Copies of this chain bind each other. A is one copy, B any other.
Amino acid sequence: MTDKIRIAIAGYGNLGRGTEAAIAQTSDMELKAVFTRRDPGGVTLLDPSIPVYSLDDVGNHQGEIDVLILCGGSKNDLPEQGPALAALFNTVDSYDTHARIPQYFEAVDEAAQAGDNIAIISVGWDPGLFSLNRLFGEAILPEGATYTFWGKGLSQGHSDAVRRVPGVKGGVQYTVPVPEAVDRVRSGAQPELSTREKHKRDCYVVLEEGADAEQVRQAIVTMPDYFADYDTTVTFISEEELRAEHAAMPHGGFVIRTGTTGAGEKQVMEYSLTLESNPGFTSSVLVAYARAAHRLKQAGQTGARTVFDIAPGLLSPKSPAQLRKELL
């Protein structure tokens, strides 16, 4: 006998693996299956007793799963998978292309309503927990300014850009908040900060044999959109160093709201995350929101939602009375 929430995962990269581990840390959920676009036989889970199926067959498993957590990427996977899977299952995803969220929401909402499902989109820390803190900040301190800083953290998109430069064999890029800017914001001064003043970019690069280091450096630091507007450092390292010291995926950052109330008193609200593993944390957020998705569906709700629409109590395995007693 079990009344655990039955979860499945679609997509088994870093985020999928993190989600499997995060489910194992809960006491009210169980992982029923993983769906992959690869050959299922070639996918090895942390727990080998859990079945792996082809994503093509996901429609045959509708009755067995309460919530499907979508662990595909925002660029190529989710624009198609998000609506398609929300038509079949309650879903949670981490769609993070900020500019396209409104149209993604519409597409998923239509599919989820048609399928009588709940779909919580854009869950994670940004979008996600950082978004919530931006909202709390401006709702509570309407006369003020909000600042988001990212890092120190590995940026996947910027690392990819570095690796596309001719002469680069491998490399990573860290986004780093400028400490002086963070301090000025925290002081409540509400400064206007340029792109360059807020963040700097540190690159660690392995050169291909015979490549010209200075030429590679110039190609990186002058790259438009990615690096030209920032103070960028390029450090050349060996392949061994890259493997040994830059394999982790740390990230984090700050959301700071400063404002003034009544008689001009300065008030500062700050939210910060320091993450040793970005996918490990993001997947933990996805799993907590999967609990909320299940409960909303049980309450008869359907359609797309974001973190803004979810009462925080729905994230916890504890009852409302227990939450009031223990955490309020």
Which A residues are closer than 8 A to B by beta carbons?
17-18, 21-22, 25-26, 98, 101-102, 105, 122, 127, 129, 131-132, 134-136, 138-143, 186, 248, 252, 261-263, 265-277, 280-281, 283-285, 288, 291, 306-313, 315-317, 320-321, 323-325, 327-328
A-B contacts, 10 listed (Cβ < 8 Å) = A18-B261, A101-B324, A122-B328, A134-B327, A135-B327, A139-B312, A267-B276, A270-B272, A270-B274, A308-B323
Q: Of the candidates B98, B101, B277, which one forms a contact with A263 in the assembled complex, judged by CB atoms under 8 Å apart?
A: B277
Q: Determine whether the beta carbon of B25 is less than 8 Å from that of A288.
A: no
CA of A280 to CA of B267 in the docked complex: distance in angstroms?
A: 9
Chain B residues near A270 (CB-CB < 8 A): 270-274
Q: Of the candidates B136, B269, B281, which one forms a contact with A267 in the assembled complex, judged by CB atoms under 8 Å apart?
A: B281
Chain B residues near A26 (CB-CB < 8 A): 142
CA of A322 to CA of B133 in the docked complex: distance in angstroms?
A: 16
**Nearest CB in chain B: distance from A186 CB, A:** 8
A141 to chain B: closest residue by CB: B284
Q: Of the candidates B129, B280, B285, B317, which one forms a contact with A265 in the assembled complex, judged by CB atoms under 8 Å apart?
A: B280
Q: Determine whether the beta carbon of B324 is less than 8 Å from that of A102.
A: yes
A146 to chain B: closest residue by CB: B327
Q: Of the candidates B102, B105, B139, B309, which one forms a contact with A315 in the assembled complex, judged by CB atoms under 8 Å apart?
A: B139
CA of A268 to CA of B244 in the docked complex: distance in angstroms?
A: 23
Q: Determine whether the beta carbon of B280 is less than 8 Å from that of A308.
A: no
**Nearest CB in chain B: distance from A115 CB, A:** 21
Chain B residues near A135 (CB-CB < 8 A): 312-313, 315-316, 323, 327
Interface core residue of A129, A136, A320 (most chain B CB under 10 Å) = A136
